[in-house]
Amino acid sequence: MKVTVHDGYDQIDGTAWDALVGPQGSPFLEHTFLAGLQSLRCAVPETGWGARPITVHSDDGQLVGAAPAWIKGHSMGEFVYDHGWADAARRAGLPYYPKLVVGVPFTPVTGRRLLVHPDADRDLVRSGLLRGLQAAAEDCHGLHVLFNPEEEAQWLSERGAFPRIQFQFHWHNEGYSTFEDWLARFPSKKRNKIRRERKDLRGIEVRSLISPDPDRLDAMHRFYSNTCEQFGPWGRVYLSREMF
């Protein structure tokens, strides 16, 4: 088994990588997306993201494991908000950056971070990936695995990782069959307010377009940029126009 630390996703076969993600895996873990973030200058050292993907190959040369990892010099674009930890380290005179982050830039979506081929020995390959991550983090001050599923987090905890608990807001349909069913759970004042707000949406037409027209892509990036900039320092424009 061969463990390799790379400095670019273009060094890894995309088809073999996607075989680890599988048809039911997150699209944000696909090679095209990760490689695009790097090649289109969204996640590069100049923006604080240095690609360090880890791969594991079997003795016969097959890619059986991979992990999307990045050297970070800041905490922006992770959506885990460890700025308090970084500040505490600074006040204590301890270094916090650089750190090795395992995850997908700008994407707070839960998904596997230790990708293993379905026909491979999962524990063996995961152990190889962990060794690779530890090697990549040798000159870093921390190794952070972000937004991984509970089972994977438990596996890492059993091997010495410290779990960090944070929260997200998710909406779950609790048996509502109509919008009015959902409104019924609120007091009348809130129901009326929501109904008034929805009136502003009347007459708006939504269309789904599949088009290579660059003008439409320009517009989409403009909408994205305007939305980000509207929310001040937290609304960073992470994705380049080329990414669209």
Is 80 exceeded by the pLDDT of residue 235? no
Residues 10 and 82 grouped into a single domain: yes
Do 31 and 134 share a domain, yes or no? yes
Q: Residue 140 maps to which CATH number?
A: 3.40.630.30
pLDDT at 203: 85
- pLDDT range class, residue 173, cuts 50, 70, 90: very high
Are 141 and 210 members of one domain? no
Q: What is the pLDDT of residues 37-56, one digit of tens each?
A: 999 999 999 999 999 999 99
The domain containing residue 197 runs over which residues? 179-233
Residue 53: is the preceding peptide bond cis (ω within 30°)?
no
- When pLDDT is averaged across residues 22-38 and rounded to a whole number, the result is 95
The secondary structure of 21-87, three-state, reads: HCCCCCHHHCHHHHHHHHHCCCCCHHHCEEECCEEEECCCCCEEEEECEEEECCCCCCCCCCHHHHH
Residue 166: inside a domain, yes or no? no
100 and 217 housed in the same domain: no
For residues 31 and 152, membership in a common domain is answered with: yes
pTM of this prediction? 0.87
Residues in the chain: 244
Percent of the chain at pLDDT > 70 equals 98
Among 109, 125, 157, the domain boundary falls at 157
Please say which residue of 99, 122, 157 terminates a domain.
Answer: 157
> Same domain for 188 and 148?
no
- Establish if 220 belongs to a structural domain: yes
Give the mean pLDDT of 223-237: 83
Question: Which helix (H) or strand (E) segment is 101 a member of?
Answer: strand 99-102
**How many domains does the structure of the chain reveal?**
2
Confidence of residue 152 (pLDDT cuts 50, 70, 90): very high
What pLDDT score was predicted for residue 212? Answer: 76
- The Cα–Cα gap between 125 and 182 comes to 46
Of the pLDDT bands very low, low, confident and very high (cuts 50, 70, 90), residue 232 is: low
198 and 150 within one domain: no
**Per-residue pLDDT tens for 187-225?**
999 999 999 999 888 888 888 888 778 888 899 999 999
169 band by pLDDT with thresholds 50, 70 and 90: confident
Mark whether 58 and 96 lie in a shared domain.
yes
Decide if 163 is inside a domain: no
Residue located via tokens 């061969």: 2
Give the pLDDT of residue 35: 98
Residue 57 lies in a domain: yes
The residue-averaged pLDDT of 229-236 equals 76
| Position 97 in a domain | yes
Q: Is position 169 within any domain?
A: no
Do 148 and 103 fall into the same domain?
yes
Whether residue 173 is contained in a domain is answered as: no
First to last CA, the chain: 38
Within this chain, do residues 148 and 186 fall inside the same structural domain, yes or no?
Answer: no
pLDDT level of residue 97 (50, 70, 90 thresholds): very high
Residue 98 lies in a domain: yes
Residue 187 and residue 83 in one domain: no
pLDDT of 57 strictly over 90: yes
pLDDT (0 to 100) of residue 56: 99
Kindly state whether residues 191 and 145 are assigned to the same domain. Answer: no
